[in-house]
Amino acid sequence: MTSKAAVKESESTAPDRELSLDLYRQMRVIRSFEETVQALFLRGQVHGTTHLYTGQEAGAVGVCGVLREGDWVAGTYRGHGHSLAKGVTAQRLMDEMLGRSTGVCGGRGGSMNVIDVERGLIGCFGIIGGSIAAATGVAVAAKQQGRQAVAVAFFGEGTSNQAYFHECLNFAQVLKLPVVFVCENNLYMEFTPIEDVTAGEIIARPQAMGIRSEQVDGNDVWAVRAAAEDAVAHARSGQGPVFIESLTYRFVGHSRSDPARYRKEGELDRWRERDPLLVARARLSEEFGVPAESLDALDAEVEAELELVAERAMAAPYPDPATEMASEFKA
Amino acid sequence: MSDIEFRHAVRDALDEELARDESVIFFGEDIAAAGGVFAVTTGLYEKHGPDRVFDTAISELAISGAAFGSAVAGLRPVVEVMFGDFLLLALDSLINQSAKYWYLSNEQASVPLVLRSAVGGGGRFGAIHSQMPITWLLGVPGIKIVCPSTPGDAKALLKAAIRDDNPVVFLEHKRLYSIKGPVTEEVAEIGKASVVREGSDVTIVSAMKGVHDCLAAAEILAAQGVQAEVIDLRTLRPLDTDTVLTSTKKTNRILVVEEGPETGGWAGEILACVVDQALEHLDDAWRLATPDRPVPYSPPLEDAFYPDAQKIADSVLGRMTQGEPLIAGAAR
Ligand SMILES: Cc1ncc(C[n+]2csc(CCOP(=O)(O)OP(=O)(O)O)c2C)c(N)n1
């Protein structure tokens, strides 16, 4: 294993005021997007189920911000944040949520199956562990093609008990693939506390394979970003995969129908104090002197933007089954 | 006898079998403390305790593998794979171990396990939470496939599945969980279809949610003077071909309505059977299934994807007024 210092040489970008504001704004967009999806669900415009990223925004924003053009991301069914942070526009994503033909997958995919190849989002995968496999494969290609591209897999801590996790981590480490595994530990696999169904520490698993591994405060976007910067540089330099365990919490139920009764007394309140948006606001004000009013104004601006996005999405056309040219195979 | 929800019929069957036979255990993801993502298994953990009803990690292969081993060693495990789509991760043990064991061991031991799973579309869950896994299983000798359409059958067939000495995949259609119906204390016989509506003009065969669509279609047809006989298959492996053949010989026409991709499904299997064994009785034989494509999310696309009562009725009327095709599928 290489020392941290050895990989620091890549363009390290100590966050300045402007960058920090942008990180905050991106997180705010994800938060508002999720609130809008929730509201539209209740109005019968979003269907089936959704898994919101509310509370975990610093993960996707912290990681995706250090990626370059040509890098890839694989997300999960809790993937709106992964998608937005990787550059899928809020409009095309919202249109997809509403099943419109203007959606990023033409309405075929829906909330759990967002794909945007052009943006380097190989997909958000509805099967636990699917993201890990996808990123591992992308990394195989990147290595073969000598493109110096990096693949990132996002997944939850519950996924560490699945075959995909163990097989792909080993595979990636043996081949020294340029992949960063980002385990977003929000303490629950659906409704079950992770410790009830997991033996030992999750981070010990990649460590046992000799994979460089790190835990990070997943509600602090700067901390996530710093860890990701190191990890991506390491992976890009051909030294093999990196594992990041991002410690976080979701503020909403697992999915649409979950009232989250399993939470421990006071747990949600404690985590809410560490809301990634609050953490960011505090630092923006303390370190960069950004007044609360400007942040409020930014919030309002983002909210207004999302309202427009929702309006446009509702006005967008549905795909027409009579004219949709669906073919089983590419000709 | 009061009507209960399909989900409660499933729960009651589990509850009663857990109480009756201490070799029965039940495990899966989020099934114990949380009571299941479809609120099917609430209360079982509290009543039967953590040794017999327990949550597992997200480890489908471990679930099916542990079911196999424990079944051979004397238990009667019931396991849940949350969505049929996730079955793929469990299939190796199910197919390469459980399904083969009785034969390969020269009948030293069988594998009395039940694998329950929620299947089917229509709920806007998209391509990876809406599939019908039956085509993946249909060609595997050694697995029984049970697919109830009513609360009464759900209970009676699940009890039968748990008592069966073979691996049984027990499929629960998500769109049926909230329907209500009567239940009894009966233990049903696996492998028996039932005629759920009698008629003389056409036989319509289906399973699970499709049975309800076909019964609704039969009403539409009756208003047009066409008497449809509707058969609920209830089990897809082994298939009750006798009931299908008897009805087809009476009506001379058979339509099979399958929720699942047209290619490789059980509708094709039934048509092959009637062509093989009742060709001289056939005026027409055809199927309505779903297109050979993934299930779409968008509401208009998903609605167009499935055969519904009106499409079924229209199809029958269209075929019956077209003159009489000579051979299966000739008029398609
Ligand atoms: C193979 C498979 N099994 C089960 C599920 C159902 N499921 C969806 S999310 C989830 C929990 C995942 O927990 P975790 O990995 O911690 O991620 P989180 O949802 O907390 O972000 C489960 C069991 C699935 N989608 N795929």
Q: pLDDT digit string (tens) for A58-92? A: 999 999 999 999 999 999 999 999 999 999 999 99
Cβ–Cβ < 8 Å for B317, B221:
yes
| Closest listed residue to residue B297, CA positions, set A36, A134, A321 | A321
Q: What pLDDT score does B325 carry? A: 44
Q: Are residues B139 and B199 in the same domain?
A: no
The three-state secondary structure class of B254 is: strand
Instruction: Give the count of beta carbons closer than 10 Å to the beta carbon of residue B139.
Output: 11
Number of domains in chain B: 2
Cβ–Cβ < 8 Å for B194, B220:
no
Of B17, B29, B60, B259, the catalytic one is: B60
Token output for A226 = 């710093």
Predicted TM-score of the model (pTM) = 0.94
Query: What is the Cα–Cα distance from B179 to B150, expressed in whole angstroms?
Result: 8
Q: Kindly give the number of the ligand 1 atom that is closest to the alpha carbon of B129.
A: 25
Using alpha carbons, list the distances in angstroms from residue A173 to A140, A208, B73, B259, B306.
Answer: 11, 11, 37, 42, 45
Q: How sure is the predictor about A327, in pLDDT bands with cuts at 50, 70 and 90? A: confident
Q: Are residues B215 and B110 in the same domain?
A: no
Q: Are residues B162 and B248 in the same domain?
A: no
Domain boundary among B182, B202, B219: B182
ipTM for the predicted complex: 0.92
Q: What pLDDT score does A256 carry? A: 87
Domain coverage including residue B17 = 3-182
Query: What is the Cα–Cα distance from B36 to B38, expressed in whole angstroms?
Result: 5
User: Is B72 inside a domain boundary?
Assistant: yes
pLDDT surpasses 50 at A37: yes
Q: What pLDDT score does B326 carry? A: 37
Q: What pLDDT score does A167 carry? A: 98
**Ligand 1 in reach of A78 Cβ (< 6 A):** yes
Domain boundary among B129, B149, B182: B182
Using alpha carbons, list the distances in angstroms from residue B266 to A97, B134, B166.
Answer: 33, 8, 21
For ligand 1, the distance from its centroid to the CA atom of residue A215, given in whole angstroms, is 21
**pLDDT tens digits, one per residue of A298-316:** 999 999 999 999 999 999 9
Cβ–Cβ < 8 Å for B244, B202:
no
| Closest listed residue to residue B203, CA positions, set B312, B101, B114, B73 | B312
Q: Is A312 on the interface with B (CB under 8 A)?
A: no
Residues 6+ apart with CB under 8 A from A330: none
Token output for A44 = 């019968």
Nearest C-alpha to atom 9 of ligand 1 is from which residue? Answer: A190
The crossing angle, in degrees rounded to 10, of helices A17-42 and A90-97 is: 20
Query: What is the Cα–Cα distance from B213 to B309, expressed in whole angstroms?
Result: 5
Residue whose entry in the numeric block shows the structure tokens 């079955």? B87
**pLDDT tens digits, one per residue of A228-252:** 999 999 999 999 999 999 999 999 9
Q: What pLDDT score does B329 carry? A: 42
Token output for A306 = 């999302």
Which CATH code of 3.40.50.970, 3.90.850.10, 3.40.50.2000, 3.40.640.10 fits the domain covering A26-47+54-75+128-315? 3.40.50.970
* B306: closest chain A residue by CA: A321
CATH of the domain at B53: 3.40.50.970
CATH of the domain at B242: 3.40.50.920
| Closest listed residue to residue B319, CA positions, set B307, B309, B308, B331 | B331
Residues of A in contact with B305 (CB under 8 A): 321
Q: What secondary structure does DSSP assign to A249-315, as a single string? A: --SS-SSTT---TTSPTTHHHHHHHT-HHHHHHHHHHHHH---HHHHHHHHHHHHHHHHHHHHHHHH
Residues of A in contact with B128 (CB under 8 A): 112-113, 125-127
Residues of B in contact with A110 (CB under 8 A): 124-126, 297-298
* B174: closest chain A residue by CA: A48
Q: What pLDDT score does B1 carry? A: 66
Q: Enumerate the β-bridge partners of residue B206.
A: B232
Instruction: Give residue B227's Cα distance to chain centre.
Output: 25
Nearest by CB: B30 against A163, A192, A257: A192
Q: Kindly give the number of the ligand 1 atom that is closest to the alpha carbon of A186.
A: 20
Torsion angle of the four alpha carbons A287, A293, A295, A301, in this order, in degrees rounded to the nearest 10 = -160
Query: What is the Cα–Cα distance from B238 to B145, expressed in whole angstroms?
Result: 7
Mutation site for A-interface testing, chosen from B61, B63, B293, B301 by largest number of A Cβ within 10 Å:
B301
Q: Are residues B25 and B147 in the same domain?
A: yes
Q: Are residues B14 and B132 in the same domain?
A: yes
Q: What pLDDT score does B323 carry? A: 56
Can you list the positions of beta strands (E) in A100-257? Answer: 121-125, 151-156, 179-185, 188-189, 192-193, 212-217, 242-247
Q: Kindly give the number of the ligand 1 atom that is closest to the alpha carbon of A159.
A: 15
| Closest listed residue to residue B316, CA positions, set B292, B289, B287 | B287
Q: Kindly give the number of the ligand 1 atom that is closest to the alpha carbon of A78.
A: 21
Pocket test for ligand 1, best of B37, B79, B82 (most atoms within 8 A of CB): B82
Residue B152 amino acid letter? G
The crossing angle, in degrees rounded to 10, of helices A221-236 and A57-64 is: 40
Q: Are residues B178 and B211 in the same domain?
A: no
Please give the residue that has the higher pLDDT: either A220 or A8. Answer: A220
Instruction: Give residue A300's Cα distance to chain centre.
Output: 24
Strand order in the sheet with B144-146: B53-55, B24-28, B76-83, B114-119, B168-173, B144-146, B235-237
Query: What is the Cα–Cα distance from B217 to B211, expressed in whole angstroms?
Result: 10
B13, containing H or E segment: helix B6-20
Q: Which residues of chain B have pLDDT under 70?
A: 1, 323-332
Q: Enumerate the β-bridge partners of residue B256.
A: B205, B287
Q: What secondary structure does DSSP assign to B62-94, as a single string? A: HHHHHHHHHHHTT-EEEEEEEEGGGGGGGHIII
H-helix segments, B165-308: 209-223, 241-251, 266-278, 299-305
Q: Is B43 left (phi over 0), alpha (psi -120 to 50) or beta?
A: left
Q: Are residues B207 and B267 in the same domain?
A: yes
Query: What is the Cα–Cα distance from B162 to B167, expressed in whole angstroms?
Result: 9
Using alpha carbons, list the distances in angstroms from residue A324 to A107, A222, A327, B191, B304.
Answer: 11, 44, 9, 40, 11
Cis? peptide before B238, omega within 30° of 0:
yes
Section A193-212 average pLDDT: 97
Instruction: Give the count of beta carbons closer than 10 Å to the beta carbon of residue B330.
Output: 11
Residues 6+ apart with CB under 8 A from A71: A120, A149, A150, A151, A152, A232
Instruction: Give the count of beta carbons closer than 10 Å to the beta carbon of residue B318.
Output: 10
Q: Are residues B16 and B133 in the same domain?
A: yes
> What is the gyration radius of the CA atoms in chain B, in angstroms?
20
**pLDDT tens digits, one per residue of B130-164:** 999 999 999 999 999 999 999 999 999 999 999 99
Token output for B101 = 């064991």
* B305: closest chain A residue by CA: A321
Residue whose entry in the numeric block shows the structure tokens 């033996």? A199
CB contact under 8 A, A48 and B126: yes
> What is the gyration radius of the CA atoms in chain A, in angstroms?
19
**Ligand 1 in reach of B172 Cβ (< 6 A):** no
Q: What pLDDT score does B332 carry? A: 36
Instruction: Give the count of beta carbons closer than 10 Å to the beta carbon of residue B108.
Output: 9
Q: What pLDDT score does A4 carry? A: 38
Q: What pLDDT score does B87 carry? A: 98
Of B8, B48, B129, B212, the catalytic one is: B129
Residues 6+ apart with CB under 8 A from B163: B17, B76, B187
